[in-house]
Amino acid sequence: MFVDDAHRQAADLAERMVPPKWSYMEKLWMPIWDTLNIATLGTALAIIMAFPIAFCAARNTTPSKIFVRPIALFIIVSSRSINSLIWALMLVTLIGPGVMAGVIAIGLRSIGFCAKLLYEAIEEIDPSQVEAITATGASGAQKLSYGIVPQILPAFAGISVFRWDINIRESTVLGLVGAGGIGLQLDASISTLAWTQVSMILLVILGTVIVSEWISAKIRHAII
């Protein structure tokens, strides 16, 4: 059985991983910067696309419950059901390896998440505030910007930061399939059995995630 010597293998691997190769850090600054960019730009892309989709999916704002809403819900479900690694795999074959594929993969994956939480927030708004704006003779667009958007803004900001936080973690592995970022180095180091480099990379990822969690907690605290 393979399990029998698992503890020995683990001890062996751990031994080969320490100490981390600190000097490798100078080659990691650029990839980690790419990873941050993939997460941030991908989140931005997702938010821009999710905003109109959420309004189409919310029962109280959708232009048509019979045609538009099912389409919006379908987009949300399909985006959520495909993992970002799979999106990246497909995009790398479509547009070639690199950061761009990563950004789009993260974006497509996050649309569903953002749109779903956002449309739930839209459905929970206080309708009397919208009614009051309607009663002044406001147009449809004005009702949106004065009656609805102020009510969902905190949720909107919270969702964006939350998703950005998740995307930092997701984008660290995108390089495994060639979609840019620190995952590329991770893949290369594992295949060359450079375990001290692997441990260095894992430390950097850990550090990045801790920092991003701290930032998103700060931002959410400031907004809500």
Residues that bind another protein (CB under 8 A): 126, 128-129, 131-139, 141-142, 145-147, 150-151, 153-154
Residue with tokens 């609805």: 148
User: How buried is 138 (Cβ within 10 angstroms: 0-12 exposed, 13-18 middle, 19+ buried)?
Assistant: middle
Least distance from another protein to the Cβ atom of residue 128, Å: 4
Taking only Cα atoms into account, the Rg of the chain, rounded to an integer number of angstroms, comes to 22
The number of residues making up the chain comes to 224
Least distance from another protein to the Cβ atom of residue 131, Å: 6
Question: Is the Cβ–Cβ distance between 39 and 73 less than 8 Å?
Answer: no
Between residues 39 and 125, which has the closer beta carbon with respect to another protein? 125
Rounded distance between C-alpha atoms, residue 63 and residue 54, angstroms: 12
Count of beta carbons in the 10 Å neighbourhood of residue 93: 12
HSE-CB for 101 with a 13 A CA cutoff: 23
Between residues 52 and 154, which has the closer beta carbon with respect to another protein? 154
Largest CA distance in the chain: 76
Least distance from another protein to the Cβ atom of residue 41, Å: 26
Between residues 64 and 81, which has the closer beta carbon with respect to another protein? 64
Rounded distance between C-alpha atoms, residue 39 and residue 56, angstroms: 26
Question: Is the Cβ–Cβ distance between 109 and 82 less than 8 Å?
Answer: yes
Between residues 14 and 153, which has the closer beta carbon with respect to another protein? 153
Rounded distance between C-alpha atoms, residue 117 and residue 98, angstroms: 30
Between residues 152 and 168, which has the closer beta carbon with respect to another protein? 152
DSSP alpha helix (H) spans, the chain:
6-17, 29-57, 68-81, 84-95, 99-123, 127-135, 140-142, 149-171, 182-191, 195-223
Between residues 155 and 182, which has the closer beta carbon with respect to another protein? 155
Least distance from another protein to the Cβ atom of residue 130, Å: 9
Structure tokens at 41: 């730009």
Between residues 151 and 189, which has the closer beta carbon with respect to another protein? 151
